[in-house]
Amino acid sequence: MSLLSWGMYPKATNTVFKFDRKETLKEIIEEHDALIPYGNGRSYGDSALSSNIINVKPKDYFIGFDEQQGLLHVQAGVLLSEILESYVPRGWFLKVTPGTKLITVGGAIASDVHGKNHHVEGCFSECVKEFTIMLEDGEVLICTKEKTPDLWKATCGGMGLTGVVLDAKIYLKKINSQYIDQTTIKTKNLKETFEAFEEYQDKPYSVAWIDCLAKDKEIGKCLLMVGDFRNDGNLKYKKKSQLSIPLNFPSFALNNWSVRAFNWLYYGKAKDGVSKQRVDIDTFFYPLDAIGHWNRIYGKNGFTQYQFILPKETSYEGLEEILSAISKSGKGSFLAVLKLYGKANDNWLSFPIEGYSLALDFKIEKGLFELLDQLDEIVVKHKGRIYLTKDVRVSKETFEQGYPHIEKFRQYRIDNKMDSKFQSLQSKRVGI
């Protein structure tokens, strides 16, 4: 059976290879072209899809932990959830985590993922000391920012196109609770939303749900959630039972009216002004992970997440324009996440820049890609960029305009002959 992405689009045909030893992996790479590493299948688009896929997920051993430094050594197939289950009870948490814990460490490096604390901690690569990678010619290297800077900048955020990450050493952060003190700020429009983000920017974690179908004076209204770990000594973290969506929903179930109803209920449940509560790690960081196979909500045709970021100086005007276009189209998303980011790193294809990012889920349907093309034009006009980990359709021309270091990445791939072996459907589409 062929592997799919989390968005279940496109429907691709592929051959899947597993390896038990480095020698086996080297043989696979020598004998096949158009290879791409694949972790737990949580990339939304076609970045981990190709005609030949290397399944890294089974390589999931914990190798060692230096408690003095908080330095964890794991194979690339280890899930972030497995790290949490093992180390939160011991008082350790991930320095950087995205909105799902169900991704592999190798995938976190390839996407250079970020989380609700990018303005404080940056991307995932900031907590990586080193990783081991097998290159196109079968050579195995230990990559660090200091000793192999170009390979580092190409691999972190490079979407698996430089080789197969085998293991990594990552720094964890010390915590003294499995609970977060969360403050929720309910805003009435985009102006209030930006003011709230600025007022609470000293909080280490922040994220907003935004009503993308709001119109006129209410455009940009949101629930901003900020927080930090408690200090109560309660570290009794354990895996929760999970609800699951058993089948694909009918495509018509998710429509303008159902999204509006959800948005009205979700926004309405929060108290006006500012409210405080205690929530656990999973509720604050990974709310969607509580629902198994939630991607089936979008129906058998699948969905895509459209995530872009705009520089701080153009964010307000650009978001207002984009939210107006989405509201007018009626193709809203009940999953609409707004975040504030800190400064960009030096990695050639890492997504974040200092500014605001909006991520929206859309079911695949007639007229969607035309809307997203329209949004692309607004993003480019405001000097923003698109996130490769979520993308499934952006054009080469649009993508190039957002990434000033793209030619360095391309030339590095050519110089090191990485462009002949490691390829994805996405890399072919955007020319990387």
> Which H or E element spans position 342?
none
From the list 362, 367, 227, 228, the residue with the least C-alpha distance to 308 is 362
CATH 3.30.465.10 segments of the chain: 59-175
Residue 245 has a CB neighbour count (10 Å cut-off) of 13
Residue 104 per-residue DSSP state = B
Asked if pLDDT for residue 184 goes beyond 90, the answer is: yes
pLDDT in tens, 290-347: 999 999 999 999 999 999 999 999 999 999 999 999 989 988 777 899 999 999 999 9
State residue 210's pLDDT score. Answer: 95
pLDDT in tens, 66-80: 999 999 999 999 999
Average pLDDT over residues 229-246: 92
pLDDT in tens, 63-112: 999 999 999 999 999 999 999 999 999 999 999 999 999 999 999 999 99
* Stated pTM of the model: 0.97
State residue 335's pLDDT score. Answer: 84
State residue 391's pLDDT score. Answer: 97
State residue 426's pLDDT score. Answer: 98
Amino acid at 394: V
pLDDT in tens, 409-429: 999 999 988 888 999 999 999
The per-residue DSSP string of 209-253 comes to EE-TT--GGGTT-EEEEEEEE--S------PPP-EE--SPPPGGG
Residue 103 per-residue DSSP state = S
CATH fold of the domain at 179-397: Alpha-Beta Plaits (3.30.70)
pLDDT in tens, 367-393: 999 999 999 999 999 999 999 999 999
Report the C-alpha gap between 74 and 379 in whole angstroms: 38
State residue 243's pLDDT score. Answer: 86
Among the ranges given (169-183, 239-253, 287-301), the one the predictor scored with the smallest mean pLDDT: 239-253
Q: Residue 266's pLDDT band (boundaries 50, 70, 90)?
A: confident
3-state secondary structure 70-91: CEEEEECCCEHHHHHHHHHHHC
The per-residue DSSP string of 242-304 comes to -EE--SPPPGGGSSHHHHHHHHHHHHHHSPSEEEEEEEEHHHHH-GGGGEETGGGGG-TT-EE
Cα 167 to its chain centre, rounded Å, is 20
CATH fold of the domain at 59-175: 3.30.465
pLDDT in tens, 7-55: 999 998 999 999 999 999 999 999 999 999 999 999 999 999 999 999 9
Residue 384 has a CB neighbour count (10 Å cut-off) of 25
State residue 239's pLDDT score. Answer: 83
Burial 385-409 (b: 16+ CB within 10 A, else e): bbbbbbbbbbeeebbbbbbebbeeb
CATH 3.30.70.2520 segments of the chain: 179-397
From the list 109, 122, 124, the residue with the least C-alpha distance to 155 is 109
User: Any residues with CB less than 8 A from the CB of 130 and at least 6 apart, and which?
Assistant: 142, 143, 144, 168, 169
Report the C-alpha gap between 52 and 121 in whole angstroms: 35
pLDDT in tens, 131-149: 999 999 999 999 999 999 9
Strand ranges (DSSP E) for 13-163?
A: 15-17, 35-38, 52-55, 62-66, 71-75, 92-94, 128-134, 140-143
3-state secondary structure 136-151: CCCCEEEECCCCCHHH
Measured over all CA atoms, what is the biggest interatomic distance in the chain, rounded to whole angstroms? 62
| Cα 137 to Cα 21, 100, 318, distances in angstroms | 16, 33, 44
Asked if pLDDT for residue 361 goes beyond 80, the answer is: yes
pLDDT in tens, 283-296: 999 999 999 999 99
Task: Report angle CA 100, 102, 104 to the nearest 5 degrees.
Answer: 115
What does pLDDT average to over the chain?
Answer: 95
Report the C-alpha gap between 345 and 307 in whole angstroms: 19
Report the C-alpha gap between 274 and 194 in whole angstroms: 15
State residue 317's pLDDT score. Answer: 98
Average pLDDT over residues 191-199: 97
The per-residue DSSP string of 379-417 comes to HHHTT-EE-TTT-SS--HHHHHHH-TTHHHHHHHHHHTT
